[in-house]
Structure 1
Amino acid sequence: MGRSEGDGVVLRLFRRSGDSATELVGSAVPLERGLQAYVERNMTALLGVRFLDTEVRTGPLHGGRIDSLGLDEDGSPTIVEYKRGRDENVINQALFYLAWLRDHQDAFEALVARRLGPDAVAEVDWSSPRIICVAADYSRYDVHAIGEMNRRIDLVRYRQFGDDLLTLELVASVAGGTARGGSGGGLVVARPTAEQRLAGASEAVRALYDDIDGRLLDFGDVHSVQLKQYVAYRRGPNFASVKVQARSLLVYLRLDPAAVELVEGFTRDVRGIGHHGTGDLEVRITSPAGLDRAEPLLRSAYEAVA
């Protein structure tokens, strides 16, 4: 079939040849170990996750092996599981491994130190560990189920087109609601970042946040995730990160600052400057007029990750 059928978006891929359009025939053959290895080698580009390890044994108590472990662009520990057969319950399996991961934070951080360097351990954010499931297809029950699980889960569907094309679709995504605290901490209910920071912000900033949140989500196929320091808006990878301050919003966009006319007090190049959030362009928004002014930049960042 040349399209991806199901509860998500129908994907059709065409080859342009002059004025003609030829639909490419996609394959949903069972995922092989070679494709898992390919995803692991290219995990940053494909999933926005830095690869850490493969086939991680969970010991005699859990008695399994996590397909892939990584650290995403927000610093969230990430489990990637691949569904090889239609009847395999990959979501429950990943949740089982998530329990192991939260009980072995020290081991995970030691792995981060070995693979990415000791400084990377400070980036690890345990407020919202993440599960990514990769499969040829999902049922409507899978899509409904993750909404009931109160965990941060992404369902990604793949299709292969010949020997040289691979597509990945984000079929469904939920942000979750509970998280474990720092290394060795107990289970706590994580208050959303927006709620924490908005509590100390002015009424005007709270109104600005509501406005920008609505505008970003209205772009379509956008998912927001509330993290420890900011709210990430993503379309696959993050395209915007919003940090609430007492009198303003700081927005970090996945745009090249060199391609933008920088205006003092409004936009700033933060390449090489430590900051929370994904993106090299910082936009400071202090008023509704400033948000209107920023909207073309928000739209450009959204379109850049299409």
Structure 2
Amino acid sequence: MLGLRLFDVRGDGALEIAARPVELERHVQAVVEKNMELLIGVRFLASEYSTGLVHGGRIDSLGIDENGSPVVVEYKRGRDAGVITQGLFYLAWLTDHRAEFQHLVRDRLGDAVADQVLWSAPRLICVGEDFTRYDVHAVREIRRSIDLVRYRYFGNELLALEPVASVVADGAARGERRQQRAVSSPAVRTEAGGVSQLRAALEEVLLGFGDDVSCVDRKQYRAYRRLRNFACVSHAHQQEVVVTLRISPKDVELVPGFTRDISQVGHHGTGDVELRLRTEQHLRRAEPLLRMSYDAG
């Protein structure tokens, strides 16, 4: 992000919009909290949440992501490795206070959301002006679900966010897959080999888009995400691979049997466009749409 330059190209010339440091850390926090679902795919629950007299701290922001994972968000100006260790302290507190968190979710978002909290993959999102390569290496070694997000202001009205690193805790997805297998029917467990190979080929494409791609399993789907989900692959189909994408139906050609507008249809996972893949030719045809969704994530 430090090398990013932004230009206004309206008219015949190009005018560079200079980056500027944020004056107050709290300003970034206020902007993110007000637009949290759009910016980082997290539903806002609470600001400056007290961890009580014993722990003596305040979590900058608490939320729950689109897969049901609890989320701690911490903000810092400049380069401050302490934001990661502080965030991990709060993440540990959160996992030790599950009932309190679920009560908060139930109070703010209702019983249905509270009953679907995914405790196998609680997340820490650190939002800072910059991170070092040592920070990136550290979060990969820690092996907890951590996202590092770099921000930069341009002019008075433009905010840029850049995912720097995204790591899913060891065992998070595996734990959900074990749960999914335990409740699956024999038909799901004996999925046809061709579809299984197609799923593997699809995963290779999705993970190949960038080092910032991670995935997490829910009972109904596997989500591939950057900061937000960009593709959700259903577990429920054995004759084809069904994927939902975070793109607008208005931006794609809808082809019967291949792409479908599901913006007004109840479904699991994130996205308004559904893909149905039955062959590797379908997968090759779908790659531009998968890339479009990744870019939007």
Corresponding residue to 1:14 among 7, 29, 54 = 7
Residue of structure 1 in register with 2:273 after alignment? 281
Task: Write the letter of the residue equivalent to 1:228.
Answer: R
Q: Is 2:41 aligned against 1:48? A: yes
Q: Aligned partners of 1:288 and 1:194: how far apart in 2?
A: 29
Instruction: Name the residue aligned to 1:268.
Output: 260
**How do 1:1-306 residues align onto structure 2 when only pairs under 5 Å count?**
4-5=1-2, 10-29=3-22, 31-84=24-77, 86-87=79-80, 89-179=82-172, 190=175, 200-220=190-210, 222-229=212-219, 230-244=221-235, 245-257=237-249, 260-303=252-295, 305=296
139-148 or 159-168: which moved more?
159-168
* Inter-partner Cα distance in structure 1 for 2:86 and 2:139: 13
Shift of 1:91: 0.7
TM-score (normalizing by structure 1): 0.84
> Please, which moves more after superposition, 168-177 or 292-301?
292-301
State the alpha-carbon separation in 2 of the partners of residues 279 and 17 from structure 1.
32
SS of 2:9's equivalent in the other structure is: strand
Question: Across the two proteins, how many residue pairs are aligned to each other?
Answer: 290
The one-letter code matched in structure 2 to 1:75 is G
Local SS of the residue matching 2:142: coil
Moved more, 289-298 or 124-133: 289-298
SS in 1 for 2:244: strand
Distance 2:88 2:217 in 1: 20
Partner Cα distance (1:46, 1:62) in 2: 30
| CA drift at 1:25 | 1.8
Instruction: Identify the range of structure 1 (84-93 vs 140-149) with the bigger mean alpha-carbon deviation.
Output: 84-93
Aligned 8 A contact 2:81 2:135 in 1: no
Read off the aligned partner of 2:242 and give its amino acid letter. Answer: L
SS in 2 for 1:153: strand
Note the residue ranges of structure 2 that are not aligned, 5 or more in a row.
none
1:30–1:85: 8 Å Cα contact kept in structure 2?
Answer: no
Shift of 1:264: 4.4
Identical positions, percent: 52
Residue 182 of structure 1: aligned partner:
none
Distance in 1 separating the partners of 2:80 and 2:9: 36
User: Structure 1 193/302 Cα, relative in aligned 2: closer, same or farther at 3 Å?
Assistant: farther
Given that residues 46 and 62 in structure 2 are in contact (C-alpha distance below 8 angstroms), is that contact kept between their aligned partners in structure 1?
yes
Higher helix share: 2
Counterparts of 1:282 and 1:189, CA distance in 2: 25
Query: What amino acid does structure 2 have at the position aligned with 1:298?
Result: L
Output the amino acid matched with 1:252. T
User: 1:166 deviation in Å?
Assistant: 1.1
1:193/1:227 contact within 8 Å kept: no
The two structures have a TM-score, normalised by structure 2, of 0.86
Secondary structure at the counterpart of residue 104 of structure 2: helix
CA gap 1:94/1:72 in 2 versus in 1, 3 angstroms: same
| Ranges in structure 1 where 5+ consecutive residues have no aligned partner | 180-187
Residues 159-186 of structure 1: per-residue CA shift (max 9 Å, x gap): 112221111111111112145xxxxxxx
Shift of 1:199: 6.0
RMSD over aligned Cα, in angstroms?
2.7
